[in-house]
């Protein structure tokens, strides 16, 4: 557990606290509308599908696919200076919502749009665990099975 995490951290609020408490417990939970069952993210007070204010927190499978993927080679925020190059992926979760995260465990050249992924939590403070994603074991291109070549060394 890194207590001197220097990157931006979420501010816990009454609205987002259940998400971060679940993440701390290594569970991916999002709001589900009690009227139409729509699972939504980001967090909101009203369902974007049916406009209901009634929701519950629902644990998701943590599985999805890479919907979009980019590797940053420039420093846009000094907090990420030592991470360059780093990736940002939009994950399409099985339950419907999309969320931004990072793909971990493989070189940046390995993940591709459409690859299956599974959530993996990175504890960065005593209160915060960030949801990251790994290539799914069933996909066949995990960190264990990838052979790094000279082209992947970036």
Mean pLDDT for 138-143 is: 55
Residue 97 has pLDDT above 90, yes or no: yes
Which pLDDT score, from 0 to 100, does residue 4 have?
84
Instruction: Give the distance, in angstroms, between the CA of residue 2 and the centroid of all CA atoms in the same chain.
Output: 19
User: What is the residue extent of each domain of the chain?
Assistant: 17-137
Upper half-sphere CA count for residue 141 (Cβ side, 13 Å)? 15
Give the span between the Cα atoms of 22 and 80, in whole angstroms: 26
DSSP-derived secondary structure letter, 14: T
CATH of region 17-137, choose from 2.120.10.30, 2.40.50.840, 3.40.50.2300, 3.50.50.60: 2.40.50.840
Per-residue pLDDT at 93 exceeds 90: yes
| pLDDT of amino acid 139 | 56
How does the average pLDDT of the chain come out, rounded?
91
Question: Residue 2: which pLDDT band, with cuts at 50, 70 and 90?
Answer: very low
Q: What is the mean pLDDT of residues 52-59?
A: 99
> In this model, does residue 143 exceed pLDDT 80?
no
Kindly state the DSSP code that residue 49 receives in the 8-state scheme.
T
Tell me, what's the pLDDT at 140? 54
CA atoms within 13 A on the CB side of 143: 10
Region 100-110: mean pLDDT is: 98
For the segment 7-43, what is each residue's pLDDT rounded down to a tens digit?
999 999 999 999 999 999 999 999 999 999 999 999 9
List Cβ neighbours of 31 (8 Å cut-off, separation of 6 or more): 39, 40, 41, 43, 44, 55, 56, 57, 58
Nearest to 130 by CA among 41, 58, 23: 23
Average the pLDDT over 117-140 and give the result.
Answer: 93
Partner residues linked to 91 by β-bridges? 66, 99
Compute the distance between CA of residue 97 and CA of residue 10 in angstroms, rounded to an integer.
19
CA 133 – CA 13 distance, rounded (Å): 24
């Amino acid at each position: 557990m890194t207590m001197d995490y220097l990157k931006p951290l979420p501010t816990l609020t009454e609205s987002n606290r259940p998400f971060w408490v679940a993440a701390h417990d290594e569970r991916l939970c999002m709001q589900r509308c009690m009227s139409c069952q729509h699972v939504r993210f980001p967090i909101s007070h009203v369902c974007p599908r049916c406009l209901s204010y009634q929701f519950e927190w629902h644990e998701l499978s943590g599985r999805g696919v890479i919907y979009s993927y980019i590797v940053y080679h420039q420093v846009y925020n000094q907090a990420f200076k030592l991470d360059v190059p780093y990736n940002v992926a939009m994950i399409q979760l099985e339950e419907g919502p999309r969320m931004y995260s990072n793909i971990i465990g493989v070189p940046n050249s390995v993940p591709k749009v459409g690859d299956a992924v599974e959530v993996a939590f990175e504890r960065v403070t005593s209160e915060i665990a960030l949801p990251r994603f790994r290539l799914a074991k069933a996909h066949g291109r995990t960190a264990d099975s990838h052979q790094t070549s000279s082209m992947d060394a970036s």
